[in-house]
Amino acid sequence: MTDPRTLPAPDRVADGQAKIARLVSGLRQVILGKEQTIDEIVASLLARGHVLLEGLPGLGKTELVKALSRLLSLDFRRIQFTPDLLPTDITGSHILQERDGRKEFVFHPGPVFTNLLLADEINRASPKTQAALLEAMQERRVTTFGETRPLPDPFFVLATQNPIELEGTYPLPEAQLDRFMFKVDVAGVDRAVLEEILITRIHGEPPPLAPVLSAAELRDLFALVDAVHMPRPVAAYIARLVAASHPASADAPDPVRTFVKYGSSPRAAIAIGAASRALALLRGRPGVGFDDVRQVARPAMAHRLVLDYTARLEGWDGRRVIDALLAAIPEIERGLPQTLEAR
Amino acid sequence: MHDMPPSVRPALRRLSRRLALGVFLDIWPAWAVASLLVAGIIALGCRMFLPGAASYLRWFWLAPVIVAVPALVISALRAYRPADVIAVADWLNGGRGMLLAVMETRDPAWIESALLQQGSAFAMPRVRPWRRLALVTAAAVFLGTALWVPQRAPRRTNSVAADEIAGRLNAAVVELKQQELITPADEKSLDDEIERIRRGAETRMDASSWEAADALKEKLAADVAEKQNALKWAADSLARYSAAAQAGASDPGAQASAAELASALEKLARTGLLAGAPGDLQKLMKGGKLPADPKALGELAAAVSKYLADANGRVASMARLGKEFGRFDPAEFPLEGGEDAAEGDPGRGGVTRGRGDAALTWGKETQPFDRFKARPLPPGAARSADDWSPLVELPGAPQAAPESSTAAGARQYDAAAGQSAWRRTLAPRHQSAVKKYFAK
């Protein structure tokens, strides 16, 4: 438990920022033109949160996760989710084996027993299989046949899903969506980035990457992120944001009242706080600022909103609602007097 | 805030002052507008219903200053706390959180850091009070307009106006009495007359009431003028008699001078001016004979001259009555526009009393004209020597008594004398006043 009355030492912060910068730099070598996406994924990773990447095929989602595993020198597994995938295909199962003339059930760990799990096209699997990830993601342990086994530390799930293939897909339930700290939208790239890709990637192969962070260094970074100070006004801003995402809230803006059925959970507030700390460290600061919160609020809250059917009719999605929420809720509880104007 | 690093403190103090000003400007204009509007409404009410408060209305301009006091108190109660100021400063700097983190932890390791220096380099918010002050200006214009509205004079009741008329007349009578220019009998008569005018005005207040009052004042002025004439005649006749007596008893004019002096003294006695005269003079009047001895005659002449001079001074001091209550003097009311305007349409002298040379305005008749029965007016008195005109040059003192000169209002001027324009005609609207004055 860090002392909330002290800040991490400046040299510690600088050292942590340098390490994170190496990680970010490596990722930017692999994925071009996705600086914000990379920052958000790294922030989620440092906050020990799981990430759901949503985007069209071929945008580099899988490559990004693979690059991350290489840079962190962590154990990496990939599961390609299909409709016939079974929960035991993820968690592992007991297999009857003969040992020393005796037959017994021996547990064979599934691919979930790794540091970095890539759940590719997660919405293709059945809900039952998806639910197999629930305990792993939240509790970081797996229970089979009444026996609970902890997962390696650190454990991250980076899932991808395709937004356009509706047939044969099973949308993730709200409970499972809530387990993801961030839902990151992987957008397309512009022409300049495409030109750069064509010149530098003949077969689309990314450049070779060397690990930049060991597991121990990553744990130090986790501790450092936890030591980043959360000022009370910033915490109050996060609380007001999450509270105002509920349509019954007095501070809820009109889009929230109109299009949101259920607002964000307290888990969203916790996720924003943790991710803001990580982002502040990424920026070399010992304390969280309002701008950190603004940046992480969108990927942390948008997928946690349960929207009304009218939102789809009117063309509103979670991201747009969060944008309206950020515009409506002031960062400081008591703003400037009406006769003063910020420059 | 004093726990913050010294490098950050000045900026935070400036921001704190700016925020305090902003809070005050959020509160005070609304109060000022309300106070000005209320003051304007009160001023309008006073302009219409409370003339006594007119002299105090200009103090209403202090209303915005007065309400600044409670506005300051409320501003102090709503002032930004140090933590709020630092939060605002951090927000103004882009929300980086450095100021907040250092404020909450007081971590000395970060006090001199470059990040904190960057965090304190925020731009001060600009003061934009114009929209609110425009409302204050509009409210001030409203108050100014309310104060600019002319004071509405209350309608006086008949009794108040009647008392005012009677009061003015009584003041004139009292002054005459103090100068011993009226006898007790005259005083009683005047008091009765004033009371009659007052009662008439109470019953019905119109132009005739003022005309009746003016007529009485003119009568007083005429009495004073008559006394003045009598004094002058007595002094002149005394001088002529003394000259004749020194020339000798054989002078044919001596007897005429003595007769003239006797007539003048008799006239003086009738006007009541001999009531306070020295004993010699009263004795002379009782005996009716002038001393034949030149020395005694000289002493008597000196005593009479002294008395006459004294009495003349008193009468002269009252002569202003004629000016105060006299008829319209065009010189007192110069027409606008210079000489051209003077030749223009006359009659702008007042509401009921136009210029003396103006054509009479025949308004609505209060009574049919033929019901008025003409009645000769009593002889008046000349107001000044200018009213006199030489009829004939006599060798020596005139034989006719001064009272043969009639009052200007009743004098029938000869058209050939060129004074027909001065002839006064009784306007129909004055008839009731004249009748009221002479009705006994």
In a domain, B269, yes or no: yes
In a domain, A269, yes or no: no
User: Does residue B308 sit in the same domain as residue B384?
Assistant: yes
B108 in contact with chain A, both atoms CB, cutoff 8 A: no
| Helix pair A35-46, A266-282: axis angle to 10 deg | 110
User: Does residue B136 sit in the same domain as residue B163?
Assistant: no
In a domain, B332, yes or no: no
Confidence of residue B290 (pLDDT cuts 50, 70, 90): low
Pick A286's closest partner by Cβ from B84, B101, B129: B101
Asked whether the beta carbons of residue B96 and residue A232 sit closer than 8 angstroms, the reply is no
Predicted confidence at residue A269, as pLDDT, reads 94
B185 in contact with chain A, both atoms CB, cutoff 8 A: no
User: Does residue B372 sit in the same domain as residue B399?
Assistant: yes
Predicted confidence at residue A200, as pLDDT, reads 81
Phi and psi dihedrals of B294, rounded to 5? -60, -35
Query: Which of B23-37, B86-100, B163-177, B412-426 reaches the highest mean pLDDT?
Result: B23-37
Q: What is the mean pLDDT of chain B?
A: 75
In a domain, B335, yes or no: no
Q: A53 pLDDT exceeds 60?
A: yes
In a domain, B355, yes or no: no
User: Does residue B109 sit in the same domain as residue B188?
Assistant: no
Backbone dihedral region for residue A8 (phi beyond 0: left; psi -120 to 50: alpha; all else: beta): beta
User: Does residue B181 sit in the same domain as residue B291?
Assistant: yes
Higher pLDDT, residue B293 or A89 = A89
Query: Which of A183-197, B229-243, B395-409 reaches the highest mean pLDDT?
Result: A183-197
Predicted confidence at residue B288, as pLDDT, reads 56
Strand ranges inside B203-271, DSSP E = none
Higher pLDDT, residue B343 or B155 = B155
CA A287-A290-A293 angle, to 5 degrees, is 90
In a domain, A160, yes or no: yes
**To the nearest 5 percent, what fractions of chain B are helix, strand and coil?**
65, 0, 35
In a domain, B115, yes or no: yes
- Find which of A7, A232, A241, A294 to mutate to test the B interface (most B CBs within 10 Å of its CB): A7
What is the residue range of A153's domain?
32-212
Q: CB neighbours (10 Å) of residue B303?
A: 16
User: Does residue B123 sit in the same domain as residue B165?
Assistant: no
Residue recorded with tokens 């968690």: A91
Q: What contacts 24+ positions apart, CB below 8 Å, involve A220-226?
A: A220/A16, A221/A16, A221/A19, A221/A20, A221/A46, A221/A281, A222/A46, A222/A48, A222/A154, A223/A2, A224/A8, A224/A12, A224/A13, A224/A16, A224/A281, A225/A16, A225/A46, A225/A47, A225/A274, A225/A277, A225/A278, A225/A281, A226/A2, A226/A277
Continuous segment of H or E residues that includes residue A97: strand A92-99
In a domain, B176, yes or no: yes
**What is the spatial distance between Cα A309 and Cα A313, in angstroms, rounded to a whole number?**
7
* Domains of chain B: total: 2
Confidence of residue B391 (pLDDT cuts 50, 70, 90): low
| pLDDT tens digits for range B296-320 | 767 777 777 777 777 777 777 666 6
Asked whether the beta carbons of residue A332 and residue B22 sit closer than 8 angstroms, the reply is no
Asked whether the beta carbons of residue A289 and residue B98 sit closer than 8 angstroms, the reply is yes
**Cα-Cα-Cα-Cα dihedral sign, residues A235, A236, A242, A245:** negative
For B215-232, what is the mean pLDDT?
80
Higher pLDDT, residue B49 or B385 = B49
- Helix ranges, chain A (H): 10-30, 35-46, 61-72, 88-91, 127-139, 174-179, 191-200, 215-227, 232-244, 254-259, 266-282, 290-301, 309-314, 318-328
Pick A287's closest partner by Cβ from B23, B98, B127: B98
**What is the spatial distance between Cα A303 and Cα A292, in angstroms, rounded to a whole number?**
19
- Residues in B closer than 8 angstroms to A291, CB to CB, are 94-97
**What is the spatial distance between Cα B175 and Cα B169, in angstroms, rounded to a whole number?**
10
Q: B322 pLDDT exceeds 90?
A: no
Q: CB neighbours (10 Å) of residue B251?
A: 14
User: Does residue B139 sit in the same domain as residue B239?
Assistant: no
Predicted confidence at residue B164, as pLDDT, reads 81
- According to DSSP, residue B157 is labeled P
Q: What percent of chain A has pLDDT over 70?
A: 97
Q: What is the mean pLDDT of chain A?
A: 88
Predicted confidence at residue B337, as pLDDT, reads 43
Predicted confidence at residue B328, as pLDDT, reads 43
Asked whether the beta carbons of residue A334 and residue B96 sit closer than 8 angstroms, the reply is no
Q: Choose among A80, A28, A76: nearest CA to A57.
A: A80
Q: Which positions in chain A have a beta carbon within 8 angstroms of at least one beta carbon in chain B?
A: 4-7, 9-10, 229, 231-234, 280, 284-294, 331-343
Q: Which residues contact A35 (CB under 8 A, 6 or more apart)?
A: A28
User: Does residue B34 sit in the same domain as residue B71?
Assistant: yes
* CA dist B4 → B96, B110, B208, B256, B369 (Å): 17, 11, 89, 120, 101
Query: Which of A106-110, A319-323, B104-108, B386-390 reaches the highest mean pLDDT?
Result: A319-323
B22 in contact with chain A, both atoms CB, cutoff 8 A: yes
| pLDDT tens digits for range B57-72 | 889 999 999 999 999 9
At which of B148, B183, B209 does a domain end? B148
Asked whether the beta carbons of residue A337 and residue B19 sit closer than 8 angstroms, the reply is yes
In a domain, A194, yes or no: yes
In a domain, A202, yes or no: yes
In a domain, B333, yes or no: no
Predicted confidence at residue B6, as pLDDT, reads 78
Q: Choose among A302, A71, A325, A79: nearest CA to A184.
A: A302
Predicted confidence at residue B60, as pLDDT, reads 92
**What is the spatial distance between Cα A302 and Cα A317, in angstroms, rounded to a whole number?**
8
Of A66-70, B194-198, B396-400, the range with the lowest mean pLDDT is: B396-400
Asked whether the beta carbons of residue A231 and residue B128 sit closer than 8 angstroms, the reply is no
**What is the spatial distance between Cα B17 and Cα B164, in angstroms, rounded to a whole number?**
64
In a domain, A304, yes or no: no
DSSP letters for A209-252: ------HHHHHHHHHHHHHSB--HHHHHHHHHHHHHTSTTSTT-
CA distance to partner chain A, nearest, from residue B155 (Å)? 50
**What is the spatial distance between Cα A313 and Cα A319, in angstroms, rounded to a whole number?**
15
**What is the spatial distance between Cα A84 and Cα A168, in angstroms, rounded to a whole number?**
11
In a domain, A342, yes or no: no
What is the residue range of B413's domain?
157-326+360-440
In a domain, A192, yes or no: yes
**Cα-Cα-Cα-Cα dihedral sign, residues B315, B319, B321, B327:** positive
In a domain, B344, yes or no: no
Residue at B340: amino acid letter: D
User: Does residue B200 sit in the same domain as residue B56?
Assistant: no
Of A78-92, B13-27, B397-411, B417-431, the range with the lowest mean pLDDT is: B397-411
* CA dist B362 → A280, B246, B388 (Å): 100, 61, 31
- Residues in A closer than 8 angstroms to B124, CB to CB, are 343
Predicted confidence at residue B383, as pLDDT, reads 60
Asked whether the beta carbons of residue A234 and residue B100 sit closer than 8 angstroms, the reply is yes
User: Does residue B203 sit in the same domain as residue B122?
Assistant: no
**What is the spatial distance between Cα A215 and Cα A153, in angstroms, rounded to a whole number?**
9
At which of B124, B148, B172 does a domain end? B148
At which of B129, B148, B167 does a domain end? B148
Asked whether the beta carbons of residue A337 and residue B25 sit closer than 8 angstroms, the reply is yes
Count Cβ–Cβ pairs < 8 Å, chain A vs chain B: 120
For B32-41, what is the mean pLDDT?
95
Predicted confidence at residue B324, as pLDDT, reads 55
CA distance to partner chain B, nearest, from residue A30 (Å)? 30
Please tell me the pTM assigned to this model.
0.62
Q: B285 pLDDT exceeds 90?
A: no
Q: A1 pLDDT exceeds 50?
A: no
* Domains of chain A: total: 1
**Cα-Cα-Cα-Cα dihedral sign, residues A313, A315, A317, A322:** negative
Of A126-130, A138-142, B231-235, the range with the lowest mean pLDDT is: B231-235
Strand ranges inside B381-420, DSSP E = none
Q: B1 pLDDT exceeds 50?
A: yes
Q: B339 pLDDT exceeds 50?
A: no
**What is the spatial distance between Cα B211 and Cα B429, in angstroms, rounded to a whole number?**
10
Higher pLDDT, residue B279 or B214 = B214
- Residues in B closer than 8 angstroms to A329, CB to CB, are none
Confidence of residue A131 (pLDDT cuts 50, 70, 90): confident
Predicted confidence at residue B329, as pLDDT, reads 47
Q: B118 pLDDT exceeds 90?
A: no
CA distance to partner chain B, nearest, from residue A4 (Å)? 7
- Find which of A230, A336, A339 to mutate to test the B interface (most B CBs within 10 Å of its CB): A339
Predicted confidence at residue B68, as pLDDT, reads 94
Higher pLDDT, residue A295 or B367 = A295
| pLDDT tens digits for range B402-421 | 444 444 444 444 445 555 45
Predicted confidence at residue B326, as pLDDT, reads 46
Instruction: Provide the β-strand partners of residue A141.
Output: A150
| pLDDT tens digits for range A249-288 | 999 999 999 999 999 989 999 999 999 999 999 999 999 9
**What is the spatial distance between Cα A27 and Cα A31, in angstroms, rounded to a whole number?**
6
In a domain, A113, yes or no: yes
User: Does residue B52 sit in the same domain as residue B121?
Assistant: yes
Predicted confidence at residue A259, as pLDDT, reads 92
Q: Report the length, in residues, of chain B.
A: 440
User: Does residue B231 sit in the same domain as residue B372?
Assistant: yes
Predicted confidence at residue A101, as pLDDT, reads 83
For A128-142, what is the mean pLDDT?
86
